[in-house]
Each structure stands twice: as structure tokens, then as C-alpha cells.
Structure 1
């Protein structure tokens, strides 16, 4: 069986009742997020993991501490796996940005790949930050690898591997606590993935 790369999104966080832009803001797991991490622990209980890599943001660290507790390995923190930097939009609600910065809000919807909020990153910039680290991670071992990161990070990795244009990355659902299984089809020399949980 080919080795697998398990690309996981951290558990749920509290970000208020309104939908907000949360990127590098360092929020901990909430109770539901911890329960999701325990569900992940159960999922991985019978899966051999050679190495684990995590975003250093607390929500990923907390998820990894629960998931890896019985694995005998620690997550290696990789700064490049931090979530997208949303600059001046960090922590603000979608409704606030839409009402106060309608042109910027509209541009992000149209130019999902290249628009960056003031002081922040675009998804193109995020992908340029993440992919060299991802390449080093997959070269680090021939065994199964666990990566615990964020919705944006996971989407830019998957989009590159399956050649999905970045403008379409929101078509890749990334629920809290989801598991994406990445594997190389050696016959066709291309990456495949499936999302479970």
C-alpha cells in the first residue's frame, strides 16, 4: 500500500456569533473542538504515523496534543503552516467588511486567488509560502505523515496537487476536524485525495 499524507484541519474555535475573518489570530479550541480532536484521535488509533507536522497556532497545537497522545511522537511545528494572514480584516465580521469596505469585499469574491486584504496575504502568496514547506515535509520520510493545519493551508495544498485553480479553492470543503487523505497514483504519477470525517 502506498504511503498516505493525512492533511487535517484543527478542531472548532470560538469566533463569535457572526462569521469572522480568522487567519493568524491565535484562538484556542472550544469544547466542540476538543471533542472533534478526540474523534480524530480515535480515527488515527489504528493508523501508523511516521511523522507529524503542525501549524504553531494554538488551535493546531491543542488538536495535535490530543491526537498524538498515544502515538509516541510529537508534532513538529512549522511556521509556514500558519493560516493565511488576513491583515486588517483579522477578527472582523464578514458583515463589517462588506458594509465598510464593499469594493474590497467584492474584489475578494471575484479575485479569490490574487486579492489580499490590506496588510495581509492573497491565496497565491499563501500557496508560495506553504508549498516549499510541504515539499520538505513529504521528502522527510517514506512513511505516513500527519499534517494538522488550517482550512486555507489545506486548500492551497490540495489545489496545487490536483491542479485546481486557486480561484476555485472554496469548492474544497474543509470542515473543522476533517481529514484529507492524499496519495500518489504511481501508475499515472499524479496526486489523488479524498476527504473523510
Structure 2
């Protein structure tokens, strides 16, 4: 059997209605996020899993705890799987940044891959942090079924790498709360396939 990876985003978080930059700010799951995590548990109930990896931020750890419940699947927290560091923008709303720094706000839109907020990371930085950790996971578990519970930014850089996409291109992929990317490695073709996209 080839390698099977389930890339899963955490459930919905507790936050104000207004869109904001949430990076490594540790925010909890909302009641809806808990329900989404319970649906994930039902979805994965009959799927064999050999190992689970998670970002150490509580929204991921809690999603994984609900998803796996009492299943005896080894769980490992990986610091490199934390969401992109938004630096001084973390927890600020889009409108706050747009109002106080319109030029910088627009620059981020234009240069999504290379732009880093003050004291934060760019998506290029994120990729350099995440991909070595992902490579280690893949190397260790060459014929296993594994689950990686992470954040939208982390999932995007992994998908971009596996499917030869730019950061800007991978933003066309929807990554909803509690979204699942069902990936398997086709040894014959020597490439990754996303079964549910």
C-alpha cells in the first residue's frame, strides 16, 4: 500500500464576525468548530490511521482530540506546523490594517507570496519552515496512513509544493474550516493525487 495523507484544517474558531488576520494567536474552537470536529470524527471512524501530527495551537489540538477521541492513534505536536506568523498584524481586522496602512495592505494583496507583516512571516518563510517538517513526516511513514491537522496557510504551502503551484495559484483552492484533502502517492506515476479535488 502507498502512502495516504489526510490534510485536515481545524474547526471554526471563536472570533468576532469581522475578518481578521489570525496567525499564531491561540484562539479556541467555537461551538460550531466543536460540531465540525465531531463530524470529522464520524467521517474518520472507519478510516485506519497509523499516526497523527498536529500544530501545537489549541484550535488544532482540540480538533484532533475530538476527531480521534479514544482511538489509540499516536499523536505528535510539531511546532513547524503552526500557522503563518502575522507579527504585529495578528488579531487585527482587515479594516483596521486597511485604514491605518492602506499602502501596506495593498502591497500584501499584490505580493502575497513575499510580503511579511512587521515582525511576521511571508508565505515564502512559511514554506521554508513547513516543507522540511512535512518531508520528515513523509520519509518516516513511507507506506502508512497519516493525518496532519493544521491551518489554512500550512495546508496551502504543502499543496503548492505537492502539485507544483505558486502561492498565488493555491489561493484559488478553497480550504474551509474542517476541510479534508485526501492525498495519496501514486508510485507508478511518481506523483501525488488529491482524491477529493
Shorter-normalised TM-score: what interval?
A: over 0.9
Contact 1:68 1:74 in 2 (8 A): no
Q: Quote the Cα distance in structure 2 between the aligned partners of 1:195 and 1:55.
A: 23
- In structure 2, the gaps of 5 or more residues are none
TM-score by length of 2: 0.96
Counterpart secondary structure, 2:131:
helix
Q: Quote the Cα distance in structure 2 between the aligned partners of 1:192 and 1:96.
A: 40
Contact 1:181 1:193 in 2 (8 A): yes
Counterpart secondary structure, 2:69:
coil
Task: Give the 4+ runs in structure 1 shifted more than 2 A.
Answer: none
1:115 aligns with 2:115: yes
Q: Quote the Cα distance in structure 1 between the aligned partners of 2:56 and 2:74.
A: 12
Contact 2:184 2:195 in 1 (8 A): no
Counterpart for residue 193 of structure 2: 192
After TM superposition, the structure 1 stretch with the greater mean CA deviation from structure 2, 134-143 or 106-115, is 134-143
Alignment of 1:1-197 (within 5 A): 1-141=1-141, 142-195=143-196
- In structure 1, the gaps of 5 or more residues are none
TM-score by length of 1: 0.96
CA RMSD, Structure 1 to Structure 2 (Å):
1.2
Contact 1:178 1:195 in 2 (8 A): no
Q: How many residues align?
A: 196
Q: Quote the Cα distance in structure 1 between the aligned partners of 2:170 and 2:25.
A: 21
Q: Quote the Cα distance in structure 1 between the aligned partners of 2:92 and 2:45.
A: 38
Q: Quote the Cα distance in structure 1 between the aligned partners of 2:140 and 2:186.
A: 19
